[in-house]
Amino acid sequence: MKKILSIILLFSFSLYATETIKVGIKYTEPWVMYDKNVSEEKRVPRGFSIDLWNAIAQNLGLKTQWLYYNNTTELVNATKNREVNSSIAAITINSNREKTIDFSASMYELGLQVMVNTQNSSSSVLSIMAKEVKKLITTQTILLFILFLLITIHLRWFVDRQDKNSNLFPKNYFKGIYESFWWGITMLVTWETPRSKGLARTIDLLWHITGLISLSILTAIVTASLTANAVGGSIKSHKDLAGKYVAAVATDAPRKYLEKLGANVIPVKTLQDGIDLILNGKAEALVHDGPRIVYLANKLNKEQKKRVVTVFPFQFNPQNYGIIFPTGDKLRERVNQELLKLREPNGINKSYHDELKEKWIKN
């Protein structure tokens, strides 16, 4: 009899250990990642949320069948309609979603952060001026300026040499051109020259106007850069986002929070769309969950081999990520128990949860 009971128990455990459940996921770096060009059957998802779920499933003796969705709204609806047994990605716990689905205990605590174009995040006036001047002073512009200067000083010296009553420049070529050179440099920024008339006066005036126009263009460029810098440099906290043009993913929770702050929200389909907007100067900032935009900023800066975007260190609107289940589903309690275990330190060693943070979410 004992033998028969043992066989029954073993068979029952075997069935439980191979129980397959459907889990919904969406692409969200670094939480859930996979090759979108591969068919769903051949995809191998990876990321913080994937590793966490795999550990929970292993402890519960569950086999996972991944189902793929495009956004958080689709994940929530699929879970609510019991198309899946559970869903995991980077799903913010909030009261509105709790009305239709159940959340697990918090799987990650975070806050919103702000990403800006690095060129707009510096507050040094001198550094901005230096950058703009460096853009203008290229090999081509230097050669053009020298050529234009040589033509002008030769013409001015030649006209003066024809005037027997003028002693502005020596009649000797080398000495005359030398003095004419300093005349050219001085006349770019000031009107200091002996009285002249005729063609000489015309050359003096045109050369001086050339200098004024050049300085005006440089001033305009630097002023525009300083204005752009004021956008990034003026963001010291989330309160400074009010009135600014801020990109946010249309289907995610940060968009609604930004609207309450008074920001001019530019809805985007993906975070990459938002990053493109700030790089092109069409948005002043991008706001999203901190760990994700830090990950994307590090990835982009590494690819470009320079810092093209900056994520400010301050956080606001504290949030929690959770795993979601259909309302009243019994799997939730079992997952909660394993989730809490994985967050507990293993003696002097770090918890599995902390190890995942070091692996996937580095600032």
Q: How many domains in the chain?
A: 3
Distance, CA of 298 to CA of 346 (rounded, Å): 30
DSSP-assigned letters across all residues of 108-132: EEEEEEEEEEGGGT---HHHHHHHH
Task: Tally Cβ neighbours within 10 Å of residue 74.
Answer: 16
Q: Name the token pair of 296.
A: 């994307």
Residue 333's H or E segment, with its range, is helix 331-343
Q: What is the pLDDT of residue 222?
A: 66
Asked if residue 18 is part of any domain, the answer here is yes
Q: Tell me, yes or no, whether 341 and 262 share the same domain.
A: no
Taking residues 282-298, what's their average pLDDT?
91
Closest CA relative to residue 115, chosen from 288, 249, 238, 261: 288
Taking residues 329-350, what's their average pLDDT?
91
How does DSSP classify residue 327?
T
Asked if residue 229 is part of any domain, the answer here is no
Distance, CA of 2 to CA of 49 (rounded, Å): 43
Taking residues 1-21, what's their average pLDDT?
53
β pairing state of 245-249 and 285-289:
parallel
Backbone angles phi and psi of 54, in degrees to 5: -60, -40
Q: Which domain holds residue 42?
A: 2-107+322-360
Q: Tell me, yes or no, whether 150 and 209 share the same domain.
A: yes
Looking at the predicted structure, is the pLDDT value of residue 201 above 80?
no
- Tens-digit pLDDT profile for residues 274-289: 999 999 989 999 999 9
Q: Tell me, yes or no, whether 27 and 53 share the same domain.
A: yes
- Tens-digit pLDDT profile for residues 131-156: 666 767 788 888 888 898 888 888 88
Q: Tell me, yes or no, whether 313 and 341 share the same domain.
A: no
At 232, the pLDDT band (50, 70, 90 cuts) reads very low
Domain boundary pick from 184, 218, 252: 218
Asked if residue 90 is part of any domain, the answer here is yes
Summary mean pLDDT of the chain: 84
β pairing state of 324-326 and 101-103:
antiparallel
Q: Tell me, yes or no, whether 36 and 173 share the same domain.
A: no
The CATH number assigned to the domain holding 47 equals 3.40.190.10
Domain boundary pick from 218, 250, 265: 218
DSSP-assigned letters across all residues of 139-197: HHHHHHHHHHHHHHHHHHHHHHHH-TT--SS-SSHHHHHHHHHHHHHHHHH--------
| Residue 97 CA to its chain's centroid (Å) | 28
Asked if residue 131 is part of any domain, the answer here is no
Q: Tell me, yes or no, whether 99 and 189 share the same domain.
A: no
Looking at the predicted structure, is the pLDDT value of residue 231 above 60?
no
Taking residues 354-358, what's their average pLDDT?
92
Taking residues 166-174, what's their average pLDDT?
82
Asked if residue 278 is part of any domain, the answer here is yes
* Burial track 152-161 (b if 16+ CB lie within 10 A, e otherwise): bbbebbebbb
- Tens-digit pLDDT profile for residues 251-275: 777 888 898 889 999 999 989 999 9
Q: Tell me, yes or no, whether 239 and 120 share the same domain.
A: yes
Domain boundary pick from 192, 218, 244: 218
Looking at the predicted structure, is the pLDDT value of residue 8 above 50?
no
Q: Tell me, yes or no, whether 16 and 94 share the same domain.
A: yes
Asked if residue 269 is part of any domain, the answer here is yes
Looking at the predicted structure, is the pLDDT value of residue 9 above 60?
no
Looking at the predicted structure, is the pLDDT value of residue 324 above 60?
yes
Asked if residue 35 is part of any domain, the answer here is yes
Asked if residue 225 is part of any domain, the answer here is no
Q: Tell me, yes or no, whether 286 and 340 share the same domain.
A: no
Q: Tell me, yes or no, whether 337 and 301 share the same domain.
A: no
Q: What percent of the chain has pLDDT over 70?
A: 84
Q: Tell me, yes or no, whether 305 and 334 share the same domain.
A: no
Q: Tell me, yes or no, whether 259 and 212 share the same domain.
A: no
Q: Are 187 and 207 in contact (CB under 8 A)?
A: yes
Q: What is the pLDDT of residue 10?
A: 41
At 227, the pLDDT band (50, 70, 90 cuts) reads low
